[in-house]
Amino acid sequence: MTVCVCVKVNECMVFAADSASSFDAGGAKDSNGDPIQQVYRHGNKLFQLHRQYPIMGMTAGLGNFGQASIAMMAKQFRHMIGAKGTNPLGSDYKMEDVVALAQKFFLEEEFKNVPDASGVGFEFWIGGYSSGEKLPELWKLSVFNGNVLPPALVAETSDIGIFCGGQRDPIQRLIGGFGWKLEKILNDHGVTQDKFPKLYESVAPELLLPLVSPVMPIQDAIDLTEFLADMTKKVFRFRAVPEYVSGDIDVATVTKYENFRWIKRKYYYPQALNQQVDHV
């Protein structure tokens, strides 16, 4: 489980994700007979997908395809499309080309290594700039209930907004004004869309909390993205469930001219030994 968030504005695209990685603890069960979830707090879910071009990725859902972690495969994909890789991107590349290569690598070749894919969920978000474009695009690769879906263009170059994957409910409640169960509750009580079409049309726009603007500066977009991820993490801290969203919040950006930049990143060793000085 995880939360991954994207804020897309005119100047940049920002990704943020927590560090939780969970799995069934060897088939062990608690006193109620439910599987015991082991949660690690140092998973990597944000990725620089090209050393030269402004392209990045983030992931939610299944964390391993067989023995390989998504983080390790993301590095392999980065090498594959790099200058010395087997499918190097040319200077006139399009994001659609990058997404097609990622779909083939992750979901046509590597996903077959998952031993039991039934019920599996997986998301891999790719954001970046096509060659010659002034604004970025956002795409998503998906597996839903074990079924591989076609790549989806989530946000075109002209779109701005907040997009999230994994545990979306806290963010949806904040921005949209209600959780995902509302429609089911209304339907259970006979308040259906065919009976009350005007109600259904008005609820979402009237409860919407606008938090993002096309002209939002880069630092404000960074702060908003981190806030939404951290808020979700804190919700799971206080809920009576395992902390499926936990650990450090990693944050990165892509911009047209600065390319990929880490804004906030956990380290395997003290940060004083890692003098990373480049920033947006």
Q: Mean pLDDT per segment of 10 residues, for the chain of length 280 residues? A: 94 96 61 64 94 97 92 97 96 97 97 89 97 97 96 98 95 94 94 95 94 97 98 91 88 96 86 59
Ramachandran bin of 46, using left for φ above 0, alpha for ψ from -120 to 50, beta for the remaining angles: beta
Q: Determine the pLDDT at residue 48.
A: 97
Residue 149: CB atoms within 10 Å: 14
> For position 280, what pLDDT does the model report?
41
User: CA 120, 137, 10 angle in degrees (round to 5)?
Assistant: 130
Supply the pLDDT for residue 46. 97
Instruction: Identify the pLDDT of residue 279.
Output: 46
pLDDT of residue 23: 66
Q: Which two tokens stand for residue 44?
A: 């990597």
Give the pLDDT of residue 41: 84
Q: How far is it, in rounded angstroms, from Cα 224 to Cα 22?
A: 26
CA distance 269 to 97: 36
Return the biggest CA–CA distance within the chain: 63
User: Distance between CA atoms of 237 and 222, rounded to whole angstroms?
Assistant: 23
Q: Rounded distance, CA 280 to CA 267, Å?
A: 19
* Cα–Cα distance, 60 to 171 (Å, whole number): 15
- Under 8 Å CB-to-CB from 145, ≥6 apart: which residues? 118, 119, 120, 121
Position of tokens 């969920």? 121
Q: Collect all residues with Cβ–Cβ distance below 8 Å to 219 and sequence separation of at least 6.
A: 280
Buried residues in 16-44 as b, exposed as e (16+ CB within 10 A): bbbbbbbeeeeeeeeeeeeeebebeeebb
State residue 155 phi and psi, 5-degree precision: -145, 120
Of 280, 4, 267, nearest to 142 (Cα)?
4
Task: Tokens 């947006």: give the residue.
Answer: 280
Residues in the chain: 280
